[in-house]
């Protein structure tokens, strides 16, 4: 257990690690189907991700019991507030990881995660509406997390037979993603640039169209129509746009916000592997290999840097 001095500053953003690790597990599961039938690495990664989630959940529960005021402060912070839904999203992603191997576990995780995410979405949006201290400079891609997490629900929900409920959550995710996208581009085009610490969150822009594509394919029973293509190719364009600026990101100092690189990359990787499976075109197969390799290297590097930062005490410190 962390010392009390560090437990008080244990950030809820730590759960973004689970999003990245779950995304890597799902990507390798899909690669097992599409690219490498002899290598089932997703099972091992999924188990490790579940263990890490339990450790983080216990740590944050301890913080809630001992430092309730610090938790309440995060719930009203214009940036940290948006990372609370990473907890419910983690549960939904773990349900995707376990769906084929343990359907009963997947259903339990999905029901709890989906219910919690609806509550958190309603809470966060209520805070946005009735706030008295937010400014346009507070807007950043982390604001997409509560809204776009809803689009993950159908990926497990359709497999469990909850089709109409899945359409409900998908609609929330897609409609409010477009609203927030408009606000965000107004913010970056006509106002001050994002602070350096939040620059990695630019990668979150990839996740909404990629996740929406995966959910829509589930809802449409893998039918690749015009809307599915628009979602996929817009996600692919945003990936290219951000990869062309890799030099800017490489100069940033490490922080937990670097985990924002991981889940969006996993989302576009899985989406590309789905395209390869549905179309049978070699281009998507090759691109899938490239993205899977890039994702694996990025997540491995993030695990290494995070472990090192925790060991030397650079994380869980007052800001």
Closest CA to 148 of 239, 259, 235: 235
One DSSP character per residue, the chain reads: ---HHHHTT--GGGGHHHHHHHHHHHHHHHHHHHT-TT--HHHHHHHHHHHHHHHHHHHHHHHHHH-HHHHHHHHT-TTGGGGTHHHHHHHHHHHHHHTTT-HHHHHHHHHHHHHHHHHHHHHHHHHHHH-SS--GGG--GGGHHHHHGGGGHHHHHTTTT-HHHHHHHHHHHHHHHHHHHHHHHHHHHHSPPPPGGGGGGGGGGGHHHHHHHHHHHHHTTS---HHHHHHHHHHHHHHHHHHTTHHHHHTSPP-GGGGGGHHHHHHHHHHHHHHHHHH--HHHHHHHHHHHHHHHHHHHHHHHHHHHHHHTT-SS---
pLDDT of the residue at 311: 84
Question: At a CB cut-off of 8 Å and minimum separation 6, what does 82 contact?
Answer: 124, 142, 143, 145, 146
pLDDT of the residue at 8: 80
pLDDT of the residue at 248: 85
pLDDT of the residue at 3: 62
Q: Domain limits of the chain?
A: 4-311
CATH class given for the domain over 4-311: mainly alpha
Angle at 316 (CA atoms; ends 82, 71), nearest 5 degrees: 45
Query: What is the rounded distance in angstroms from the CA atom of residue 54 to the CA atom of residue 98?
Result: 15
* Residue 10 near residue 315, CB atoms below 8 Å: no
* Residue 86 near residue 13, CB atoms below 8 Å: yes
pLDDT of the residue at 235: 97
Closest CA to 14 of 87, 75, 110, 94: 87
Angle at 277 (CA atoms; ends 103, 111), nearest 5 degrees: 25
Query: What is the rounded distance in angstroms from the CA atom of residue 147 to the CA atom of residue 129?
Result: 14
* Residue 205 near residue 142, CB atoms below 8 Å: no
Q: pLDDT 10s per residue in the chain (319 long)?
A: 556 567 887 888 889 999 999 999 999 999 999 999 988 899 999 999 999 999 999 999 998 888 888 888 888 887 888 899 999 999 999 999 999 999 999 999 999 999 999 999 999 999 888 877 778 888 889 899 999 899 999 999 999 999 999 999 999 999 999 999 999 999 988 888 888 888 889 999 999 999 999 999 999 988 899 999 999 999 999 999 999 988 888 888 888 888 999 999 999 999 999 999 999 999 999 999 999 999 999 999 999 999 998 888 777 666 6
């Amino acid at each position: 257990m962390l010392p009390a001095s560090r437990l008080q500053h244990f950030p809820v953003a730590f759960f973004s690690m689970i999003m990245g690790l779950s995304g890597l597990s799902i990507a390798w599961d899909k690669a097992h189907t599409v690219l490498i039938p002899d290598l089932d690495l997703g099972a091992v990664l999924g188990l490790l991700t579940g263990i890490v989630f339990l450790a983080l959940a216990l740590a944050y529960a301890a913080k809630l019991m001992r430092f309730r005021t610090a938790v309440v402060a995060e719930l009203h912070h214009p940036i940290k507030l948006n990372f609370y839904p990473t907890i419910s999203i983690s549960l939904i992603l773990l349900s995707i990881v376990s769906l084929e191997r343990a359907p009963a576990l997947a259903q339990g995780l999905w029901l709890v995660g989906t219910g919690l995410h609806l509550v958190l979405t309603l809470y966060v949006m209520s805070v946005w509406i009735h706030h008295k201290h937010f400014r346009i400079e507070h807007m950043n891609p982390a604001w997409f997390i509560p809204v776009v997490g809803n689009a993950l629900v159908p990926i497990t929900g359709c497999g469990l037979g909850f089709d109409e409920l899945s359409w409900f959550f998908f609609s929330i995710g897609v409609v409010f993603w477009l609203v927030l996208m408009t606000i965000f581009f107004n913010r970056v085009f006509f106002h001050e640039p994002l602070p350096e610490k939040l620059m990695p969150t630019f990668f979150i822009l990839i996740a909404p169209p990629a996740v929406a594509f995966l959910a829509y394919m589930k809802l449409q029973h893998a039918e690749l129509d015009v809307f599915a293509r628009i979602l996929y190719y817009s996600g692919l364009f945003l990936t290219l746009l951000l990869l062309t600026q890799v030099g800017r990101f490489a100069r940033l100092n490490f922080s937990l916000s670097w985990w924002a690189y991981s889940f969006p990359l996993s989302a576009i990787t899985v989406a590309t592997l789905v395209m390869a499976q549905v179309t049978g075109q070699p281009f998507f197969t090759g691109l899938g290999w490239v993205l899977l390799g890039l994702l694996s290297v990025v997540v491995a590097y993030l695990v290494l840097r995070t472990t090192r930062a925790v060991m030397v005490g650079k994380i869980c410190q007052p800001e």
